[in-house]
Amino acid sequence: MQKVESRTEERDKGGQARLTELSRAQAKVTEVYQERCSKAMQRYFDAVKVAGEPLRDGAIRSASPLDLWRDVSAYWLDYTQRSILFWDTLRQRGNNWVEHEKAGKPPLLDFDWEMVTDARTLERPVNYALVRIIPLVGIKTDPELRPFVIIDPRAGHGPGIGGFKQDSQVGVALKAGHPVYCVIFFPDPEPGQTLADVSRAEAEFLRIVGERHPKTRKPVLFGNCQGGWASMLVGAMEPDLVGPIVINGAPMSYWAGNDGENPMRYAGGMLGGTWPALLASDLGAGTFDGAYLVENFEYLNPANTYFDKYYTLFSKIDTEPERFLEFERWWGGFFLMNREEIKWIVENLFVGNNLADGDAEWSEGRAFDLRAIKSPIILFASLGDNITPPQQAFNWVADLYPTTEALKTNGQVIVGLMHESVGHLGIFVSGQVAKREYTQITDLIGYIEHLPPGLYGMQVEEQKADGSVRYDVLLTERRVEDLQVLQKYSRKDEMPFAAVEKTSEALASAYETFVHPFVAPLVTPAAAGLIRAFNPQRAQRWAVSDLNPFLWPLKGMADMAKANRAPRDNDGPATTMECWAAAVTSASWDLYRDLRDAAVENTFFRTYGPAGIGMAAGEEKAVAEEPIDVRNALLVKEALAHIEDGDTTEAMVRAVLLLMKAGTGRRRLSTMKRARELISRDLGLLDMTMEAAREIIREQSFIVDFEPVKALTALPKLLRTSADRHRLLNMLDNLESRIEANEKQVTLIGEVRRLLSEEEMGDEKGGSAKAELITVTLAEHHAEGRPVAAAKTAKHGSTRRSSDTRRTRASS
C-alpha cells in the first residue's frame, strides 16, 4: 500500500513539475512574441524615418516652380524609358528561360567541361554525371596534385553554383593547379532511383577520379548546401574513397536554430510534416517539382522576392540587366526529384533530423554512420545565412560527439569557419568569399591531414602591406562543449520538433492509406506537365517572353529608348520622392515578414510545445547517466599500450605534439608552412601514405593527451641510437630558432635536451621527477585540453529512434 502511495505521489509531483515547466515555456513564448512584434514595429518606424530625411531637408520646398517643372519633366522621360527597358529585360529573362528549357537545362558552369561518366548508364542508373573542368588558357593544372570534386545542391535548381563565375570554388582550385571535377545532374530523375543510389553513384565517381590520378592523394570533396550532406553520406558509405570534406552552408541539424532568426525550421511543423511533399509528388505523377523548394526560399524574404530585386533592376537599368539575367538563368532552372527521393529527404532530414544520430537508413537495417568518416572535415557557415544558420551547420558535431574527448577518440579532425555577414547564396557565388575564404580553405587542405584529432576554429586574417593584401589562417583549438553558445535555451527549444516528427508520421500514414491510392492514378504525366507549366515560378517567365505576342513590339521600343536615353537627375526632387516610396515599400514588406514569422513561430510553439515537453519528460525517466571513460576506447587503449614502442618518426611526432600541447592552442598556417619546410624531411611523414601518417599522428596524440608525463619520459626509449637522438635535437633546434616559442615550450625543449643527453640517460628517477614537474605545469597552462570522462545523458527532451525503439540524444 505504501509503495502504491509513493508511486502515486511521485507521479503527482512529476505531473506538477511538467505543468510548471509548460507554464513557464508558454509564458516565454508569449514574451518572445510580444518582443518580436514590438521590435518589428520599431524597425519599420526607424526605416520610414530614415527614408523621409531627404524630404525634410528643405531641398524640395526651396525649389522654384520652374525648377520643379523641369525636374518632373526630365524625371518622367527617364521613368518612361526605364519602364520600357525594365519590361524588355524581363522579356529577355523569359526568352532565356525558354531557350534553357529547350536545351535541356545544361549546367550553368562558367567553364568548359567534358563528360567523364554518365551515371544513367550504371547498373543502378541515376540522373547524375561526372564532368572534368577544362582550365582556361593560361591556367595549368598538375595531374599529380590532389583533385577536387564539387557537388552542387539538388534543391530545386540545377547544377553549376560552385563554378557560377571565374571567382568561385572551381576557379580557386584551378588557379592553385588542382584538377577539378564537378558532379552534375539532369532535370528528370531516373525511374525508381533513390538517395542511396545517388550516393553509390557519387562514390563511383570518386573511385574513377582516384583511378585517373593514381599518384596523388584521395580527392577533396566540396559539398554546397544540400550537396554538403550528400558529401557526408558518401564519406560515411565509402570512407576509404574520400579525402578532406568541405561542406559549405550545409544543413546537418535541421531542428537547430534560434527564435526570431530562423523561420524555415518551423515549416515542417506548420505544414504537417511529410504529407504535403507526398501530395505534391502525386500531383506530379510520381515526381516532385523543385519549383516548390524555390518558393520556400523566396518565402523567407518577400521584400526581395516581390519588390527589391525588381526595383534594383528598375533603378539601375543602365548597368544591372546583365547581372540580373545571369542570376535569373540559374534561379529559374527548376529540376525534379522522384517521390522516393523527396520522401527520404523530408522524413530523415527536414522533419526527422535523423542523420547525426545514425538513424537515416539507406537500405533495410543499414544506416549512414557519420562516425565512419575518417577524413578531416571543414565546416563553412555564416551568421548572415537564414536558410542554413550556423546552428544547423555545426550542432550535428555535438549530437555525434558528446564531448571533445569523444571526438578525439574517434580520431576526427573538424575545422569550423564562420563568416560574419554573407547570405546563403553569397557563400557560393560571392567573388569576395572565393578570393578570401575559399582560397585559404584550398591552401589549408594541404596541411589539415597532419593536424592531431580535435575541433578547431578557423579565422582568416587580413594583412595589408605596401598597398597589397595578404591573408593568413589562424586555427584555434576549441571544445565541442563550446558549440552550445550558438543556440539559445540550451537547445530546449528543440523539444517540440520531436512532437512534429510524431505528428508527421501519423499524418503521412493516413495520407498513404486513404488519399494516395485515389490521387495517384488520376494524375497522368501530361496532366502533371501542365500543372508544372502553370506553377507561378514558371508562368511568370514564359508569360513575359516572346511566346506572348502582345510583347513583340517591346524590343523595338527598347532599342529606341536606348538610342535616346536621357538619365534622370539622381539628386532631383522627383528622384528623391521615388527613393522614399521605394524605401517605405521595402520596409512595409519587411514589417509584414517580421509579423508573419513571429505569428508562425508563436503558433508553432503553442501547438507542439506542450506535446514536446510531455514527450521529453517521459523519455528522460528512461535514460540514466552512463559515464564513459574515454581511456577505455579501443584506439586509446591500443595507443597507451605502446607508449614505450616506436621509432624515430614516432618520437619526433610525439615531441612536436608535446610542444603543441605546451603552446596556446593556436596555429597559423604560415607557421605550419615554415615548420613543414624545416622538419618535414626529418619527420618523414610526407614520404608515407596519408593513412600511415595520420595513424602515427593519431596514436601519438592519444599518448600526449592522456599520458603526457609518460609520453615525455619515454622518448629516450624510442631513440635507440645516438644518431636518432641527435636527429631529434637538431629538429628542435631548427624549430626553436625559426618559430617563436613561448616560455613553456622553451622549458620543454630544454627538458627534452636533458633527457636525451647521454650523461643523464641513466638517471631515470631524477629525470622522471623533473619531467613530471614540467608536464604538470603544462597541464595547468593548457587545462582546458585535459581529457575527462564523457557521459551519456538525456538532452533537452528531444527524442530519436534506435532500431525499433526510441532513445534520447547524447548531451553536448
- What's the pLDDT tens digit per position in 429-444? 899 999 999 999 999 9
**Statement: residue 623 has pLDDT above 50:** no
Do the domain assignments include residue 192? Answer: yes
Residues 686, 605 within the same domain: no
Query: What per-residue confidence (pLDDT) applies to 594?
Result: 96
- pLDDT tens-digit profile of 472-516? 999 999 999 888 777 777 788 888 999 999 999 999 999 999 999
Do the domain assignments include residue 680? Answer: yes
- pLDDT tens-digit profile of 692-710? 888 888 998 999 988 888 8
- Over the chain, what is the mean pLDDT? 86
**Statement: residue 532 has pLDDT above 70:** yes
Which carries the bigger pLDDT value, residue 466 or residue 324?
324
* Residues 322, 324: Cα–Cα separation, whole Å: 5
Query: What per-residue confidence (pLDDT) applies to 804?
Result: 38
DSSP assignment of 742-776, as one string? -HHHHHHHHHHHHHH-TTTTT-HHHHHHHHHHHHH
Average of per-residue pLDDT across 341-351: 94
Residues 604, 639 within the same domain: no
* Residues 528, 519: Cα–Cα separation, whole Å: 12
- pLDDT-derived band at 13, boundaries 50, 70, 90: low
Which domain covers residue 774, as residue numbers?
631-785
- pLDDT-derived band at 378, boundaries 50, 70, 90: very high
Do the domain assignments include residue 287? Answer: no
Average of per-residue pLDDT across 699-724: 87
Residues 606, 486 within the same domain: no
Average of per-residue pLDDT across 178-198: 95
Average of per-residue pLDDT across 353-372: 84
CATH number at residue 166: 3.40.50.1820
Phi-psi region of 28 (alpha: psi -120 to 50; beta: other; left: phi over 0): alpha
Out of 512, 534, 564, a domain closes at 512
- pLDDT-derived band at 684, boundaries 50, 70, 90: confident
**Statement: residue 635 has pLDDT above 80:** yes
**Beta-carbon contacts of residue 160 (< 8 Å; ≥ 6 apart):** 107, 108, 109, 110, 152, 184, 330
Residues 353, 449 within the same domain: yes
Query: What per-residue confidence (pLDDT) applies to 357?
Result: 81
Model confidence, pTM:
0.90
* Residues 154, 174: Cα–Cα separation, whole Å: 24
E strand or H helix at 222: strand 220-224
Out of 567, 592, 622, a domain closes at 622
Residues 616, 662 within the same domain: no
Which carries the bigger pLDDT value, residue 593 or residue 687?
593
Average of per-residue pLDDT across 605-620: 72
Residues 440, 507 within the same domain: yes
**Statement: residue 612 has pLDDT above 80:** no
Out of 588, 622, 656, a domain closes at 622
CB 273 within 8 Å of CB 508 = yes
Query: DSSP state, 334?
Result: B
* Residues 240, 203: Cα–Cα separation, whole Å: 10
* Residues 90, 310: Cα–Cα separation, whole Å: 10
Query: What per-residue confidence (pLDDT) applies to 511?
Result: 97
Query: What per-residue confidence (pLDDT) applies to 12?
Result: 55
Query: What per-residue confidence (pLDDT) applies to 295?
Result: 94
Residues 129, 252 within the same domain: yes
**Which amino acid is located at 504 in the chain?**
S
Compute and round to an integer the Cα radius of gyration of the chain. 30
CB 199 within 8 Å of CB 234 = yes
**Statement: residue 374 has pLDDT above 80:** yes
Do the domain assignments include residue 25? Answer: yes
- pLDDT tens-digit profile of 743-793? 888 888 888 888 887 534 454 444 444 455 455 555 554 444 444 444 443
Query: What per-residue confidence (pLDDT) applies to 60?
Result: 64
* Number of domains making up the chain: 3
Do the domain assignments include residue 762? Answer: yes
Residues 498, 586 within the same domain: no
Residues 640, 498 within the same domain: no
Query: What per-residue confidence (pLDDT) applies to 251?
Result: 93
Query: What per-residue confidence (pLDDT) applies to 674?
Result: 80
Residues 434, 488 within the same domain: yes
Other Cβ atoms less than 10 A from the Cβ of 626: the count is 10
Do the domain assignments include residue 272? Answer: no
**Statement: residue 234 has pLDDT above 60:** yes
Residues 376, 481 within the same domain: yes
Give the range with max mean pLDDT: 47-56, 87-96, 489-498, 574-583.
87-96
Give the cell for residue 500: 512534429
